Amino acid sequence: MPSLAVAAIQIPSTAKPVVIEAKSSPSLKEGVTQLPSYLIAPASPKAPTFLPDPQVPLRITLANTTSSKLDRQKLEEFGIQKWSATIATPAGQFTASQDFNLSSIPTLEPGQSYSFTTVATFKELADRRIQPGNAVMSGEIPTKSRPIQAPGVQITFNEI
3-state secondary structure the chain: CCCCCCCCCCCCCCCEEEEEEECCCCCCCCCCCCCCEEEEEECCCEEEEEECCCEEEEEEEEECCCCCCECHHHHHHHCCCEEEEEEEECCEEEEEEEECCHHHCCCECCCCEEEEEEEEECCCECCECCCCEEEEEEEEECCCCCCEEEEEEEEEEEEC
* Alpha carbons 96 and 56: distance in angstroms, whole number: 10
pLDDT on residue 1: 47
For residue 7, the model assigns a pLDDT of 47
- Convert the pLDDT of each residue in 96-140 to its tens digit: 999 999 999 999 999 999 999 999 999 877 777 888 999 999 999
Q: Sheet holding 16-22: strands in order across?
A: 46-51, 16-22, 148-159, 133-141, 82-89, 92-99
Total residues found in the chain within this entry: 160
Q: Domains in the chain, start-ordered, CATH in brackets?
A: 30-159 (2.60.40.10)
Low-confidence ranges of the chain (pLDDT < 70): 1-12
